[in-house]
């Protein structure tokens, strides 16, 4: 049996969970999230706790069992506390600013890079070289963060680029230093 899937999920008092038409809807103080369930998974709610069950004992059912329990927990945490991802921009003259529903970045290209911020996501720039991505959907925040990072991933020689806060980029020595010239 899935170790994660068989754990009960405690439902906070300010969160409402509804299961209907093959989807689960979680509503809390920060917003509302909805996800379609697999037909191989069922959800049972009683006494303020949620139990995820599977239809059969096949390998795919076991993996979906733990997956959907984890996704529902992420939805509950999202609507109660929210999620946050931080990025830092490293490079001379590199900066970012939010203007309306767009993120404008100067990354050393011949043109500025504009990124349209999806609905449900809030991006802040406390410093021109720091981005804070906030929202209630953990999956969407991760997607937005990786899309922004993909504009200029950190390069291994000088370390310039966009990286997650705390991400370690292993630096390489250049060709001139490697040959000893």
Query: Domain spans of the chain?
Result: 9-80, 83-164
Given the candidates 3.40.630.30, 1.10.490.10, 3.90.930.12, 3.40.50.2000, the CATH classification of the domain at 83-164 is 3.90.930.12
Residue 54 pLDDT > 80, yes or no? Answer: yes
pLDDT band at 179 (very low <50, low <70, confident <90, very high): confident
Confidence of residue 176 (pLDDT cuts 50, 70, 90): confident
Phi, psi of 68 (to 5 degrees): -70, -30
The whole-angstrom separation of Cα 114 and Cα 98 is 10
- Per-residue pLDDT tens digits for 135-171: 999 999 999 999 999 999 999 999 899 999 999 999 9
As its CATH architecture, domain 9-80 has Alpha-Beta Complex (3.90)
Q: Are 52 and 43 in contact (CB under 8 A)?
A: yes
pLDDT band per the 50, 70, 90 thresholds, residue 180: low
Q: What is the pLDDT of residue 84?
A: 96
Reported as a single tens digit per residue, the pLDDT across 118-129 is 999 999 999 999
Interatomic CA distance for residues 19 and 37, integer angstroms = 9
Distance of alpha carbon 106 from alpha carbon 113, whole angstroms: 6
pLDDT of residue 85 exceeding 80, the answer is: yes
Average pLDDT of every residue of the chain: 93
Q: Does residue 175 register a pLDDT over 90?
A: no
**Tokens matching residue 135:** 């929202």
**Taking a C-beta distance cutoff of 8 angstroms, is the pair 101, 93 a contact?**
no
pLDDT for residue 4: 84
Q: How does strand 113-116 pair with strand 102-106? A: antiparallel
Whether pLDDT at 130 is above 60: yes
């Amino acid at each position: 049996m899935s170790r994660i899937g068989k754990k009960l999920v405690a439902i906070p008092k300010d969160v409402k969970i509804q299961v209907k038409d093959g989807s689960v809807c979680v509503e809390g103080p920060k917003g509302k999230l909805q996800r379609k369930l697999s037909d191989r998974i069922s959800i049972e709610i009683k006494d303020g706790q949620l139990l995820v069950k599977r239809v059969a004992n096949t390998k795919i059912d076991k993996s979906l069992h733990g997956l959907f329990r984890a996704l529902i927990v992420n939805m509950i945490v999202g609507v109660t506390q929210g999620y946050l991802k931080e990025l830092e921009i490293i490079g001379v003259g590199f900066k970012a600013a939010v203007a309306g529903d767009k993120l404008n970045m100067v990354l050393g290209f011949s043109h500025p890079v504009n990124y349209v911020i999806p609905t449900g996501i809030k991006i802040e720039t406390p410093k021109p070289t720091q981005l804070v991505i906030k929202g209630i959907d953990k999956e969407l925040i991760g997607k937005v963060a990786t899309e922004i990072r993909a504009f200029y991933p950190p390069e291994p020689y000088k370390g310039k680029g966009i990286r997650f806060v705390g991400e370690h980029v292993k630096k390489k020595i250049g060709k001139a230093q490697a040959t000893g010239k």
